[in-house]
Structure 1
């Protein structure tokens, strides 16, 4: 084996030892720690076999490095313990989206409405998965988990889907897919707008990717958890609950939707699309 390859594998093996220590000290649950440590041990065994394999080549080194990078991604995205969700910080100031969305709306929407979903999800998870069992029947907590969980996760995407530096129009892979599936950018924009306007009462308009059909789709989610399509991935979401616009537009939902197009973060949507295509 090339001496440089051998040294690289030895360095990876020693890094694996340090990684195991990091995992043991992490906030992962005991079950998750055991599972991850088992994976790292298997990975290190593979490195050990490569060290004694005289024919090991660059392709195998690339594969073994990629697996190590996956472990890093797992640690960066460590799971949230049941009942421990937190309100995510906005990626911009509360007044950054003005004049399209007012500072007052953004502040209340984020700190009051989104926080309420976080609190509700935590309460439901504690009742379902920990020893803090509530007196209510199981179906109550399942409904609470669906309602508040949908609210928390959709809002977390919503904030990232907006930016004060919007390019107003998509580009890159997501634009190509939009044009392929909807015929044109204008066709997509018109349909998405009509879907958002069609929501009866509280809900969302959502641009989805379907891994099964390998196509984009537009769907309304009413009351967060209704009319969702299983095994699809939200890429772009628009909150059309009245709390998202009433202080600024009163009951004029159409004006709110028209304004929102000016703050869509198409780079974020494109990044999300590239991730799901992997």
Structure 2
């Protein structure tokens, strides 16, 4: 069986936003609920999507309900919330969008290491893939509390890791190409490995991360004009 919801799409809302109704929706996953075990078990996946992600979708919609303003994408909601300092909406919408992107960063079977131009960029920055995963683990362990580890590239193609707190997102930053994200909130891994955040980060980047998609995103960035958004 698969987890039901709305089909993921390649737009900037990653399937989490319905333009016609100007509301957030829960995406479906493009793989079986058991496909990510043993790194992510079926129970963890079900709770993560059906409870936590659903709660962020519902929370954002509840805060948007009294608004007359209509939005085209999830990023539009986040940009608006930033501009008016609507912190509650920013948090709920940010978490809804971050999670939608996070689901697209998984693959049930496929390339488990970067290749091509992305591999070269990672090796230039971190030495090799082990250096990259060591840096990601160290960054994740440095965060006391919840957050996200992002692999991003700038307009020149240089890659780096970023760490954001709580519901903060990088998906509305036009200066970056966001390639992958790893959720380091405890609900992403606690049922499977208790407090072993390092093991979760290593397992995600080494076995679950969709490096084919990350490579495509990286190469797409290199083909864009420097001032493109």
Shorter-chain TM-score: which interval? Answer: 0.7 to 0.9
2:166 pairs with one of 202, 223, 226: 223
- Cα distance in 1 for partners of 2:190, 2:63 equals 29
Equivalent residue for 1:118?
A: 57
> Which structure has the bigger radius of gyration?
1
| Residues 24-173 of structure 1 mapped to structure 2, 5 A cutoff | 80-81=19-20, 83-130=22-69, 142-173=86-117
Contact 1:195–1:220 (Cα < 8 Å) also in 2: yes
Contact 1:245–1:256 (Cα < 8 Å) also in 2: yes
Higher relative contact order (CA 8 A, sep 6+): 2
The runs of 5 or more residues in structure 1 that have no matched partner are 1-72, 132-137
Contact 2:18–2:25 (Cα < 8 Å) also in 1: no
Given the two structures, how large is their TM-score scaled by the length of structure 2? 0.75
The runs of at least 4 aligned residues of structure 1 exceeding 4 Å deviation read: 138-141, 226-230
User: CA RMSD, aligned part only?
Assistant: 2.9
- Cα distance in 2 for partners of 1:229, 1:200 equals 24
Q: Deviations over 1:216-242 (max 9, x none)?
A: 121111112179994323211000101
- Cα distance in 2 for partners of 1:224, 1:155 equals 10
Question: Across the two proteins, how many residue pairs are aligned to each other?
Answer: 196
- Cα distance in 2 for partners of 1:86, 1:123 equals 12
The runs of 5 or more residues in structure 2 that have no matched partner are 1-10, 71-80, 225-229
Give yes or no for the alignment of 1:257 onto 2:201.
yes
Between structures 1 and 2, the one with greater helix share = 1
